[in-house]
Structure 1
Amino acid sequence: MNRTPLAAAAAAVLALALSACSTGTSGPASGASDAGASSGTDTSAFPVTITHAYGDTVVSKPPTRVATLGWSDQDFALALGVAPVGAVKVTWGGNAKLSTPWYDAKLASLGAAEPTRYDDADGAPLEEIAKLAPDLILATNSGVTKEEYAKLSKIAPVVAYPGAAWGTPWQTSLEMVSKALGREKQAPAVLKATEDSIKAAATKYPQTRDKTFIFGAMSPTDSSKIDYYTPLDNRPRLLVDLGMKNAPVVESLTKGSTEFYQTISAEQASTLESDVFITYTESDADMAKFRKDPLLGQVPALKTGGYVAATNKTDSLGMSAPSPLSIPWAMEKFVPTVAAALDRAAPSHPNQ
């Protein structure tokens, strides 16, 4: 994955980067890979045309060998019952298999084979993808460039992102992927199950309702700045889905912006008013350092205790790459840390 969460941006300064299976359509536990009505694919839907940032892609027939790029397309395909033959290595927050626990659990439930994993740190791995002989490449939430798109399109039809790179809402990815796979009939149930997990978390943690947040990153080796995600990023979007609100200061600073994150001088830390401030950290010691810093420590939520020091990369990845598989994980693992931060801050804000 070559768009590591912003913590890895802060961790760039921390020494981290900001940065031939035959699975196909899954059938019964035997691992059947043929696509068709029996496996849930609507063959009558084809050909389908999908519009994205680089034009229109026509998928002429039901795909049976799907390769994915970006952070989450493999999850969308799998959630719809299609196991990719190839997917990007999950190097930030991933497990020993360079995968995620939510992907592995779903794959096991389908009885499907593991995908070939490739590294996209230096861009789309064209040769490795070509070796898999895919008949569809999904990249709805990726950073595929126009040049890469042109080259990938010579291998197989490519469904790229509809707007900004890395900025596709998970609901839009689900819509695009289900159409490309001929699985639009399954999409509503997947959508509902995902939304239900968000509603359940909102009900379990009512203290999050209407609270303001800033999702950012600080660096223990560079206290001169604070990075933060804009409302166009999927992390803030997911918290908004939960019922929270972007802090007014973030709304103001990012008005008209097309970027997924921005930076503010640490000298302006006191202006970052919010009920909760979330930052990626490598350890709890980092947060202690931030709170003691004469500039960073002026972030209001760091004073009230309304902060989340996100040290668990896997749980954080559930927020960074929201999908029908990762969102329930994030609701169970990450949201409680936000609720706990709000609970800590509550005594300092009796009117909340």
Structure 2
Amino acid sequence: MTLSRRALVLSALAVPALAACGGAAEESADAPAAGGGAGAGAYPVTITHLYGQTVLEAEPARIATVSWVNADSALALGIVPVGMPTVTWGGNDNGSTDWIDEKLAELGAAWGGEGAPTQYDETDGVNLDEIAALTPDLIVAAYSGLTEEEYTQLSKIAPTIGPIAANYTTSWQEALTAVAAATGRDEEAESLIAQVEADLAAVGEQNPAVAGSTFIAGTLGLADNSIALYVGEDTRPRFFTALGMSPAEVVAENAGGADSFYVDWSAERADELVSDLFYTWGEAGVTVEDLQANELFAQIPAVASGGVVITDDDHTTLSISAASALSLPWAIENVVPSIIEVAERVAS
């Protein structure tokens, strides 16, 4: 099936940042206790988000999540949610992800067992009924496109952490920090953030061709000759930047004031997209040669030189488009090798 223009740009609406998350979650004067689980004197705790502040009077024991990333954040801190969404785009056979499955097994809550989370479908929006049936004492939507109306509805079920930033632009660090603040796991979150960021940075430090490359992250739609560039707080450019790469000047110069995570680009101006590497995602089987055979895309310097990194599998694409503390180590294993290979080939 050919991906539509809208699907190419919007199917992976996952745009967390790889930037510092200071100020994302505010605590009361009594900070949550370290070591996993807050002490009795650690509460109340206040989490600040787009729709106000959420106050937790005690450590939550039953956490439900919405959207991507939020369940990953809980799991990364050793917390198994009582409920989480089925991964309907980019998921594996379990309606999950490989990185979630691995962590669930590690925590003794593998799918099919008594401790596994309940899954609910969000294809038609937030599943209020199934979330309510789980009687959670915290709902996490820190990374999401949750509307204020949906936030209000969820808050009637349980205290809810709304989106820290709008339109899926909460960073994975911010999402992790919010869950950590709510559950008294601040030190664990700080350590995990430092480790993942260091592992990402090590890619550039150990591979000069990567660190010396400029990049553009976008989508190239063969079906309709469309080009979209990811800009601003989008997770994909932040992923490549975290590896030590530099964003192409043409993107920065043309993304000023963008109120979205992407901008459309005229295919007739493809030759202006100057960078060493161009990242795109698309249908299974799409190759660099397919892009080079397109007379418009062939004008993109990175396409002409073979400097294209393609994720043509939705699951692989999801690992960086809905980046989390769990998915990024997986991406380092499964996406980064192709980035290194392309960077070295272009640099040689």
TM-score normalised over the length of structure 1:
0.86
Match of 2:38 among 36, 42, 52: 42
Q: Tell me whether 1:107 sits opposite 2:104 in the alignment.
A: yes
Query: More deviation in 111-120 or 80-89?
Result: 111-120
Q: What amino acid is aligned across from residue 226 of structure 1 in structure 2? A: I
Shift, 1:231, TM fit = 3.0
Hey, what does 1:236 align to over in structure 2?
Answer: 237
Hey, what does 1:317 align to over in structure 2?
Answer: 318
Task: Provide the rounded CA distance (Å) in 2 between the counterparts of 1:59 and 1:237.
Answer: 32
Hey, what does 2:215 align to over in structure 1?
Answer: 213
Task: Provide the rounded CA distance (Å) in 1 between the counterparts of 2:259 and 2:7.
Answer: 23
Q: Tell me whether 1:125 sits opposite 2:132 in the alignment.
A: no
Hey, what does 1:3 align to over in structure 2?
Answer: none
SS at match of 1:222: coil
* 1:198 and 1:242 in contact (8 A); partners too: yes
Task: Provide the rounded CA distance (Å) in 1 between the counterparts of 2:346 and 2:116.
Answer: 44
Task: Provide the rounded CA distance (Å) in 1 between the counterparts of 2:208 and 2:68.
Answer: 30
Q: Tell me whether 1:76 sits opposite 2:111 in the alignment.
A: no
Hey, what does 2:29 align to over in structure 1?
Answer: none
Shift, 1:197, TM fit = 2.1
* 1:10 and 1:18 in contact (8 A); partners too: no
Render the CA deviation track for 1:20-60: whole Å, top value 9, x for unaligned: xxxxxxxxxxxxxxxx9898201332111111100111111
Hey, what does 2:90 align to over in structure 1?
Answer: 93
Structure 1 pair 11/343, CA: closer, same or farther in 2 (3 Å)? Answer: farther
Structure 1 pair 100/136, CA: closer, same or farther in 2 (3 Å)? Answer: same
CA RMSD, aligned part only?
A: 2.3
1:278-293 superposed matches below 5 A: 278-285=279-286, 287-293=288-294
Structure 1 pair 53/8, CA: closer, same or farther in 2 (3 Å)? Answer: farther
Structure 1 pair 254/8, CA: closer, same or farther in 2 (3 Å)? Answer: farther
Shift, 1:11, TM fit = 6.8
Unpaired runs of 5+ residues, structure 2, are 14-31, 110-114
Q: What amino acid is aligned across from residue 59 of structure 1 in structure 2? A: L
Moved over 6 A (4+): 36-39
Shift, 1:199, TM fit = 3.1
Q: Tell me whether 1:12 sits opposite 2:12 in the alignment.
A: no
Render the CA deviation track for 1:269-289: whole Å, top value 9, x for unaligned: 111111100111213345433
Q: What amino acid is aligned across from residue 248 of structure 1 in structure 2? A: E
Structure 1 pair 39/212, CA: closer, same or farther in 2 (3 Å)? Answer: closer
Render the CA deviation track for 1:92-113: whole Å, top value 9, x for unaligned: 2211111111111111111132
Q: What amino acid is aligned across from residue 216 of structure 1 in structure 2? A: G
Task: Provide the rounded CA distance (Å) in 2 between the counterparts of 1:84 and 1:39.
Answer: 19
Structure 1 pair 169/156, CA: closer, same or farther in 2 (3 Å)? Answer: same
Identity across aligned pairs (percent)? 42
* 2:209 and 2:347 in contact (8 A); partners too: no
Which structure's relative contact order is higher, taking Cα pairs within 8 Å and 6+ residues apart? 2
Q: Tell me whether 1:159 sits opposite 2:161 in the alignment.
A: yes
Query: More deviation in 180-189 or 76-85?
Result: 180-189
Structure 1 pair 206/183, CA: closer, same or farther in 2 (3 Å)? Answer: same
1:175-324 superposed matches below 5 A: 175-223=177-225, 225-285=226-286, 287-324=288-325
Task: Provide the rounded CA distance (Å) in 2 between the counterparts of 1:191 and 1:81.
Answer: 14
TM-score normalised over the length of structure 2:
0.87
Task: Provide the rounded CA distance (Å) in 1 between the counterparts of 2:241 and 2:72.
Answer: 21
Q: What amino acid is aligned across from residue 144 of structure 1 in structure 2? A: L
Task: Provide the rounded CA distance (Å) in 1 between the counterparts of 2:3 and 2:252.
Answer: 23
Q: What amino acid is aligned across from residue 153 of structure 2 in structure 1? A: K
Render the CA deviation track for 1:175-209: whole Å, top value 9, x for unaligned: 11100122113222212221232133334433111
Shift, 1:267, TM fit = 0.5
Q: Tell me whether 1:137 sits opposite 2:133 in the alignment.
A: no
Q: What amino acid is aligned across from residue 214 of structure 1 in structure 2? A: I
Query: More deviation in 111-120 or 328-337?
Result: 111-120
Structure 1 pair 309/38, CA: closer, same or farther in 2 (3 Å)? Answer: closer
Q: What amino acid is aligned across from residue 190 of structure 1 in structure 2? A: L
Hey, what does 2:23 align to over in structure 1?
Answer: none
Q: Tell me whether 1:57 sits opposite 2:54 in the alignment.
A: yes
SS at match of 2:165: coil
Structure 1 pair 127/252, CA: closer, same or farther in 2 (3 Å)? Answer: same
Q: What amino acid is aligned across from residue 319 of structure 2 in structure 1? A: G
Task: Provide the rounded CA distance (Å) in 2 between the counterparts of 1:228 and 1:321.
Answer: 17
Task: Provide the rounded CA distance (Å) in 2 between the counterparts of 1:287 and 1:49.
Answer: 49
SS at match of 2:7: coil
Task: Provide the rounded CA distance (Å) in 2 between the counterparts of 1:313 and 1:205.
Answer: 27
Q: What amino acid is aligned across from residue 280 of structure 2 in structure 1? A: T
Q: What amino acid is aligned across from residue 149 of structure 1 in structure 2? A: Y
Task: Provide the rounded CA distance (Å) in 2 between the counterparts of 1:120 and 1:310.
Answer: 24
Task: Provide the rounded CA distance (Å) in 1 between the counterparts of 2:212 and 2:131.
Answer: 44
SS at match of 2:186: coil
Q: What amino acid is aligned across from residue 110 of structure 1 in structure 2? A: L
Task: Provide the rounded CA distance (Å) in 1 between the counterparts of 2:43 and 2:340.
Answer: 46
Hey, what does 1:29 align to over in structure 2?
Answer: none
SS at match of 1:186: helix
